[in-house]
Amino acid sequence: MKAEDQPIIQCGEYQSLPETTADLDWMEMRILDFSLFDKSGGKNKLALQLKHAIHNLGCFYIINFGLSQDDIAQQFSLATSTFSLPQSEKNKFIDCKSNPTLGYKPTGERVMTQGIRDAVEIYDDLKCSSFFGPYLRPPPCVKQKGETEHFCKAIHEQALHRLLVLTAIIMEMADKESLSVIHGFDTMSESRMRYMIQHPRSEELALFRFEYAI
């Protein structure tokens, strides 16, 4: 199925979905409360929780990491604004030359099992740091560049930095800041802001995907 054949939904202002009322099995999710990070014994407590999550659960959830719910919702709204642009406008930001891993990727670009093409739109935005020069962005991203820069730095400094410190504690490294120094915000890296939207499949194709677990 080609990109132009994929069913496309029109995005509006982002609204979070209500919690499901379905009777489902739930997995354990370890919550890391980063408000404990700078308190006495907080780092060691969080490191133990992170170690348990890594070894036994495979995932974890962090709270109190310096961004408000409004900050997060603003990024979701930015994604809906970007993906709501006309297809011809979005195609201007397909980056095939300077860095194909960045920029816009339309639906149908990636082939999965059984030859089924994806129904996901992606926009990878270069992180806002002094290492990188100006980068061509869609109008919504240009308009909210300041907010995105704040969001990106907060994620790095308040979330990633702390996770790296906790990882160093788990690894019993002498210098607990060494991993964080290596992965400084302004150093060269593959870090980026990734925005994605999953478009609905036809019922027939959805059942096919379920059967083949794709």
Q: Where are the domains of the chain?
A: 28-64, 68-214
Q: How many Å separate Cα 33 from the centre of its chain?
A: 20
Give the pLDDT band (50/70/90) at residue 204: low
Average of per-residue pLDDT across 179-184:
84
pLDDT, position 2:
42
Give the pLDDT band (50/70/90) at residue 214: low
Res. 213: pLDDT tops 70: no
Q: Choose among 177, 123, 147, 143: nearest CA to 67.
A: 147
Other beta carbons within 10 Å of 136:
13
CA angle (73 as vertex; 145, 82 as ends), nearest 5: 50
For 68-214, CATH number? 2.60.120.330
Average of per-residue pLDDT across 92-103:
80
Average of per-residue pLDDT across 151-164:
92
Residue with the larger pLDDT of the pair 1 and 108: 108
Average of per-residue pLDDT across 155-177:
93
Residue with tokens 């593959």: 190
**Distant-in-sequence contacts of 199-208, Cβ < 8 A, 24+ apart:** 199/6, 199/7, 199/8, 199/9, 199/107, 199/119, 199/120, 199/121, 200/7, 200/9, 200/119, 201/7, 201/119, 202/7, 205/116, 208/114, 208/116
- Does this model's pTM top 0.85? no
pLDDT, position 212:
53
